Structures are given as C-alpha cells and as structure tokens.
Amino acid sequence: MKEEKVRFVRSLFFPAFFVTLMWMVKTIEHLTEFSFMHLGIFPRTAKGLVGVLFSPFIHGDWMHLFNNSLPIIILGTVLFYFYRPIAYKVFFLIFFIANIWLWALGRPAYHIGASGIVYGLAAFVFFSGIIRWHIPLMVLSLLVTFLYGSLVWGIFPISHRVSFEGHLTGSIAGMILAYIYRKEGPQRKKYEWQQENDEEDDIPDDENAYWRKIQPEEHKNENNTSPGQSQGDVHYHYKPLE
C-alpha cells in the first residue's frame, strides 16, 4: 500500500507542476493587467510559431483555466501512473504535435489554452486501453468516456470562439501515439491455458510420435546414391506404437 501511495504521488507531480505554471501565468496577467494573448498560436505566420511553445499556458479567463486544469491533473496522473516509462514522451509529443498541426491548419486567429493537451491525453488513455485489450486499462477507457465523453463535441466547429482545430489535432495525436506505443507499457496478461497452448506448439516431435521425418544424410560421394533415388529425397516411415 505504501508503494502504491508513493507511485501515485510521483505520478501526480508533473501534471500538478504543469498546471501550477498555467496558474502562475494567469496570476501574473491578473496582477499586471497585461495580456499574453500575443504569445498564442497564430496559424501560418512566423510570429505565431512562438505559440507552439507558450499557448498551452495562456487562457482567456479563470473559468477557461479551471476547465483545463482538472482534466490535465486527472488524465496526466493516469498517464504517469500506468504508462510511466513512456509518459514524458507521450505528453510532450502530444504537446508539440497538436500545436504544430494547429499552427499549420488552424483559422487565422489567436489560439490559446491547454485544451489540445486535454484532448490528446483523453484520446491516448482511451485508445490505449482498447488497443491493448487490457482489462484495467479498458476500465480506465470507460471511465474517461464517462467523465469526458462530452469532449467529442469539441472537435466540431460548433462555436466560432472555440478552437475546435486544437481539440481535433490533440485527439488525433493522442490516438496515433496510442497505436505507436501499443507494445510499451502494460500489456494484456496471458491466461494459463493460453501459455500451455503456446508451450505445446513449441514441443518438438519425440520418439513416440506416429510419424517421423527422416532427414537425408549428406554424402561426400554422389556415387553412393541408390539408383532412382536423388540425394535430396525425403522419405517418411511409419513407426507403430510399442
């Protein structure tokens, strides 16, 4: 139990640190009355490239910030708890892939917020459980569906004030990474009967087999081959049970 608590705290650390940075940026904006909006992603412009790095830390208002904070903590902790060996790679790949695609494909306006990361994490956790067919991870997939199933509407252009492109690119990035890293991290356990079948498949023929394949002997002198019999012929002999 103690080890599980330590593992949970370690898994919580990075998501909490990331969210803390988000809140620090918003607090600085509030105290200085200065907006960092210009550091968001502005698609297909040189100035908009800085947003690839900074946009997830910038939010329009406190509610926008809060709505992204809780999912990042929950989904981020799940990522680092169950997929720790690849967690940092997955997180930062979602971070950069989603934002680069958004810069390339988004509408000509400033795009800010960490919603793309939220969608990427949700997609990764959901599809990883399905692809791996791992029961605990599938339960997580269902939990994600229950908690964040409404996120699916965010990938459609319902409101002009919502960056559906960021949601969509994040979701696609998470789904692709779930497939790429499907063989890393937790895997489906094999039951005993499956392992026994695999072992039986690997057992070679023993001396009690009904049929045995006699391999031809190599002959140094081709003249030793019997008439009508080529050196590469294979003969099968029946061996009765004793």
User: pTM, whole model, 2 decimals?
Assistant: 0.75
Helix (H) / strand (E) containing 148: helix 135-148
Contact (CB, 8 A) for 106 and 163: yes
Mean of pLDDT values over 57-72: 95
The pLDDT of residue 202 is 54
Contact (CB, 8 A) for 178 and 170: no
Partners of residue 237 on adjacent β-strands: 212
Mean of pLDDT values over 96-115: 96
- Within 10 angstroms of residue 33's Cβ, the number of other Cβ atoms is 6
CA angle 128, 112, 10 (to 5 degrees): 45
The pLDDT of residue 192 is 47
> What digits encode the pLDDT tens for the residues 213-235?
555 554 445 555 555 554 555 54
Mean of pLDDT values over 22-48: 96
* pLDDT of 170 strictly over 50: yes
% of the chain at pLDDT higher than 90: 58
Mean of pLDDT values over 70-87: 94
* pLDDT category of residue 18 using cuts at 50, 70 and 90: very high
- Domain coordinates in residue numbering, the chain: 2-180
Least confident of 32-36, 109-113, 158-162, 235-239: 235-239
The pLDDT of residue 200 is 54
Q: Which CATH number is 2-180 given?
A: 1.20.1540.10
Mean of pLDDT values over 187-214: 52
The pLDDT of residue 150 is 75
